[in-house]
Amino acid sequence: MLLQIQVNHFKDYPPEARRVATSHIELLRKLPAAFTPLLLQQIQAYDWRFPAERRDIDRQLTFLKSLAEAERRRLFTGFEQLKLPAQLLDVKWIESPVEFSEQLSHHLWTTGQIDAFHQASEAYLKAVFAAIPAQPPTTRRLGIAVIGKGVERNTYPLFRKLRPYGSRFTNVNPANGLKTLLAHVTDRAAAHPSSFDHWYIDGGPAEKIEQPFLTSISYHGLAQNRQALLRKTSSAIQNGIAGPKELLSLLHGMKPEEIGFDMAGPNGAILSHFATSLLTSGSGTQIFSTSFVQWATRELWRRAQPLTMLARFAPRQRLRPMNELLSGDEQTVEMDAPGSLIDADMGAYYMWLEQQRLSGAEQSSFMIWFEDHAEALVVSPSLARNTESNARVDMRWLLAQTG
């Protein structure tokens, strides 16, 4: 059965999203009702998605258009077999596919169909990637995590999760360490100039950079936006918002301009929408700097698929009563540097895991450094695994091992 999708359903989509949707309208009409809105959710945000995400959307559409009708029906058997209520079959969801996605998720969980949905989704993605494999990166990916800012002494055993995969160094000269790392990622951005392929994330105030292709985002730099979001959240709770589901819908529907983002500039809309998603979709990203950095690295590897990422974790505030956390008051908070080091050590491990999901992972490199201290670990094809060295080295030498 063809879905009754019309061109006017896309009139409120942004320009590029509207172009993509209307140019593929015949294809969209032939897709299952349980799948089409999920694809449209991606398309609706096309204008402010990263280049890598746009390529993924284009790749899906190219693949679907290449299928014969019998092949397409076979591929979507799992989606066609899902039983949906009448309200989810109404094409009104075309104008608000995000809302449809939330309702679909709730329905699948409550009816015990979520496993079947996951199986259908995995089969679909497997077929897309097999037909049109992801392109290898133009150069070896490099991830760098800097942890432990403000910690003078430490007894916690660092890098335990990563030691089996890399070489640990215990006699690193820390002089000018951060400056050297920033210079290195700046040079990589200059050598491979491409928008959103090189990132610097900081859990505190960001260091000044002057390279247009090295994109920077920081917890401190988003202070006003975070506080605006917390005020809106607190107000909604005080005004009797019904529960977690409604609060989640409120957050997912938040627009950048509602929490003070300025979308001016050639990449302003993309960056503002990304930052908004970090603050509204991540758990604790509005409150804890370590959560912010960890979620930012996860989302960037997944969405932007960059060549370079330098993430610097900073001390987070100590846990306080929820009403105090939601107040947004950061003037009198107590910072927990030792606890933040432990959080960041695990966050760096997750950062490496996400990097391994990308194309070219076997040739990628990863480095973690205990800021202002002599401990570091490097995962690189040029270094042996699960080894330790006490030889005196500096940051430049370590970076040379990453390729």
The 10s digit of each residue's pLDDT in 71-96 is 999 999 999 999 988 888 776 788 88
pLDDT for res 272: 95
Q: What is the pLDDT of residue 233?
A: 81
Give the rounded distance of the alpha carbon of 216 from its chain centre: 14
pLDDT at 312: 98
Q: DSSP 3-state assignment of 316? A: strand
Q: Given this model, what pLDDT does residue 91 score?
A: 67
Q: pLDDT at position 31, please?
A: 92
**Cα first-last separation, the chain:** 54
| The predicted structure's pLDDT at residue 325 | 56
CA distances from 26 to 121, 184, 206, 289 (A): 22, 48, 47, 46
Q: Which two tokens stand for residue 344?
A: 């960041």
What pLDDT sits at residue 218? 96
* pTM above threshold 0.85: yes
* Residue spans of the chain under pLDDT 70: 1-2, 91, 240-244, 318-332
pLDDT of residue 1: 58
Residue 313 burial (C-beta neighbours within 10 Å; 0-12, 13-18, 19+): buried
The Cα–Cα gap between 258 and 261 comes to 7
**CB 136, CB 359: distance < 8 Å:** yes
CA 360 to chain centroid, in Å, comes to 18
Query: Can you give the C-alpha Rg of the chain in angstroms?
Result: 23
Question: What angle do helix axes 244-252 and 223-238 make, rounded to 10 degrees?
Answer: 140
Q: CA-to-CA distance for 280 and 39, rounded, in angstroms?
A: 21
From CA 197, how far away is CA 309, in angstroms rounded? 8
Nearest one of 126, 102, 82 to 38, comparing CA atoms: 102
Q: Supply the pLDDT for residue 271.
A: 94
What long-range pairs does 278-284 form, CB within 8 A, spacing at least 24? 278/217, 279/222, 279/225, 279/226, 279/229, 280/229, 280/251, 280/252, 280/254, 281/251, 281/252
